[in-house]
Amino acid sequence: MWSAIDIYCRLISIRIRAQLQYRISFLLDLVAAAFATATGFGTLALVLQRFDNIAGWTLGEVAFLYGMVETAFGIMDLFFSGFDPDTFGPMVQRGRFDQLLLRPVSITLQVLGSDIALRRLSRITQGIIVLGIALALVNIRWTPAKVAYLPLVLVSLIAFFGGLFIIGSTTTFWTVKRVEAINIFTYGGSEMMAYPMHIYTKWMRHFFTYIIPAIFLNYYPALYFLDKPDPLHMPSFAPFLSPVAGFGMLAAALAFWRFGIRHYTSTGT
Amino acid sequence: MRLFYELLKLSFRLQLTYRTANLAGLATNFFFGLLRAAVLVALYGTSHEVAGFSLPDAITYTGLSQATIACLSFFGWWEVMHSVYSGDVASDLLKPMNYFTFWLAQDLGRAVASLLVRGLTIMVAYALVFDIALPHSGWQWLAVGMALTLSLLVSFSYRFLINLAAFWTPDARGVGRFAFSLSWFLSGFLMPLRFFPNWFVRLCNLTPFPSMVNTVVEVYLGALTGSELIQALGTQLLWIGLLFVVCQLVLRAGVRKLVIQGG
Give pLDDT tens digits for B194-216.
999 999 999 999 999 999 999 99
Query: Using the beta-carbon criterion (under 8 Å), do B35 and A183 form an inter-chain contact?
Result: no
The identity of residue A67, as a single letter, is: G
Query: Using the beta-carbon criterion (under 8 Å), do A199 and B51 form an inter-chain contact?
Result: no
**Which one of A23, A126, A199 would you mutate to disrupt binding with B, by most B Cβ within 10 Å of its Cβ?**
A199
State how far the Cα of B112 lies from the Cα of B105, in Å rounded to an integer: 11
Domain ranges of chain B: 2-261
ipTM value: 0.87
Query: Using the beta-carbon criterion (under 8 Å), do A55 and B42 form an inter-chain contact?
Result: yes
Residue B263's nearest CA partner among B103, B85, B97 is: B85
Considering CB atoms only, which of B32, B50, B178 is closest to A31?
A: B178
Q: What is the pLDDT of residues A10-64, one digit of tens each?
A: 888 988 888 888 777 788 788 888 888 888 899 999 999 999 899 999 999 999 9
User: Would an 8 Å CB–CB cutoff place B203 in contact with chain A?
Assistant: no
Q: Is A122 helix (H, G, I), strand (E, B) or coil?
A: helix
State how far the Cα of A253 lies from the Cα of A166, in Å rounded to an integer: 6
Q: By CA distance, what is A23's nearest residue in B?
A: B171
Name the residue range of residue A202's domain: 2-267
Residues from chain A that touch B75, judged by Cβ atoms under 8 A, are none
Mean pLDDT of B82-106: 90
Query: Using the beta-carbon criterion (under 8 Å), do A179 and B191 form an inter-chain contact?
Result: no
Q: What is the pLDDT of residues B15-37, one digit of tens each?
A: 888 777 788 888 989 999 999 99
- Into how many domains does chain A fold? 1
| DSSP H or E segment with residue B54 | strand B53-54
Q: By CA distance, what is B174's nearest residue in A?
A: A29
Residue A225's nearest CA partner among A74, A65, A70 is: A65
Provide φ and ψ at B222, rounded to 5°: 75, 20
Mean pLDDT of B52-74: 94
Give the DSSP per-residue string, B141-204: HHHHHHHHHHHHHHHHHHHHHHHGGGGT-S--HHHHHHHHHHHHHHTTSSS-GGGS-HHHHHHH
Mean pLDDT of B116-143: 94
- Shortest Cα distance, chain B CAs vs residue A240, angstroms: 26
User: Would an 8 Å CB–CB cutoff place A202 in contact with chain B?
Assistant: no
State how far the Cα of A27 lies from the Cα of A14, in Å rounded to an integer: 18
State how far the Cα of B169 lies from the Cα of B163, in Å rounded to an integer: 11
